A = this chain, B = another copy of it.
């Protein structure tokens, strides 16, 4: 094969990955559509990965996206501009101390935020007054303890456990998905409903194998390898075997399972 073929092949792969990203997007976001004119607060927008999806799905809502990090906000603004999205306003702010009038928003949206907070329940409580009566909150989180796979591997499980432990040391909780119901209900919201969104990947779904098992989940675990080894959580050899075993699940006879959780509640 010539370099040109390889390049063409790579382009097709890029398209597949993009398709795959859209599949996950659909799984997590497709049922969140806010009406025209509604005031939406995205609390903890980070670099805007979810902001873009949120804004596209609710093009006539007025979205306010806040984050505590000015650096992240800068990237988020750039991303939204590139996409030509115009219904988002960015503001710097601490999720525990936002300076909006009570009832300023019809809807609040958080995605992959609570997992990084030491006091997720308090964040939910602090946000509640910002909602109008009858307004909704939507929370999406993963749960790394929901990952299991074939072939099973104690080393791979231990490697994932290191990521969970490291996130816990930083005050977060990588197992928070399963807790969304008690967290949201416990923060005083009513009509709380949680729906799990399972990603099931087997050899019949090569795009998911590549886009989720390899490039999303395993790459994420792989990223904390030096931290885990340097802290003595696992030997380098065991760590590498764990990562190899995770990649092994992306062979044609492998299987990988992971579950996200989506909660909605009402003030």
Residues of A within 8 A of B (CB): 143, 145-146, 148-150, 152, 175, 178-179, 181-182, 185-186, 192-196, 198, 200, 202-204, 253-255, 257, 259
Q: Could you list 29 examples of A-B contacts with CB < 8 Å?
A: A145-B148, A146-B148, A148-B175, A148-B178, A150-B178, A150-B182, A152-B178, A178-B255, A179-B255, A181-B203, A181-B255, A182-B202, A182-B203, A182-B253, A182-B254, A182-B255, A185-B253, A186-B253, A192-B204, A193-B204, A194-B200, A194-B202, A194-B204, A195-B200, A196-B198, A196-B200, A196-B257, A198-B198, A257-B259
Q: Whole-angstrom distance from the CB of A188 to the nearest CB of chain B?
A: 14
In the assembled complex, the Cα of A194 lies from the Cα of B256 at a distance in Å of 12
- Integer count of this chain's copies in the complex: 2
Are A203 and B178 within 8 A (Cβ)? no
Are A181 and B152 within 8 A (Cβ)? no
Residue from the list B145, B192, B255 in contact with A152, Cβ < 8 A: B145
In the assembled complex, the Cα of A185 lies from the Cα of B255 at a distance in Å of 13
**B residues near A254, Cβ cutoff 8 Å:** 182
Q: Whole-angstrom distance from the CB of A165 to the nearest CB of chain B?
A: 13
**B residues near A185, Cβ cutoff 8 Å:** 203-204, 253
Q: Whole-angstrom distance from the CB of A102 to the nearest CB of chain B?
A: 27
Write the chain B residue with the least CB distance to A186. Answer: B253
Q: Report, nearest first, the 8 A-B pairs whose CB atoms are least far apart.
A: A181-B202, A182-B253, A196-B200, A150-B178, A150-B179, A178-B255, A145-B148, A198-B198
Q: Whole-angstrom distance from the CB of A248 to the nearest CB of chain B?
A: 12
**B residues near A257, Cβ cutoff 8 Å:** 146, 178, 196, 259
Write the chain B residue with the least CB distance to A195. Answer: B200
Q: Whole-angstrom distance from the CB of A150 to the nearest CB of chain B?
A: 5
Write the chain B residue with the least CB distance to A182. Answer: B253
Q: Whole-angstrom distance from the CB of A210 to the nearest CB of chain B?
A: 17
**B residues near A143, Cβ cutoff 8 Å:** 148
Q: Whole-angstrom distance from the CB of A81 to the nearest CB of chain B?
A: 39
Are B149 and A198 within 8 A (Cβ)? no
Q: Whole-angstrom distance from the CB of A153 to the nearest CB of chain B?
A: 12
Are A259 and B198 within 8 A (Cβ)? yes
Having A145-B148, A198-B259, one finds 8 other A-B pairs with CB under 8 Å, namely: A148-B175, A148-B178, A178-B257, A181-B202, A181-B203, A182-B203, A185-B204, A257-B259
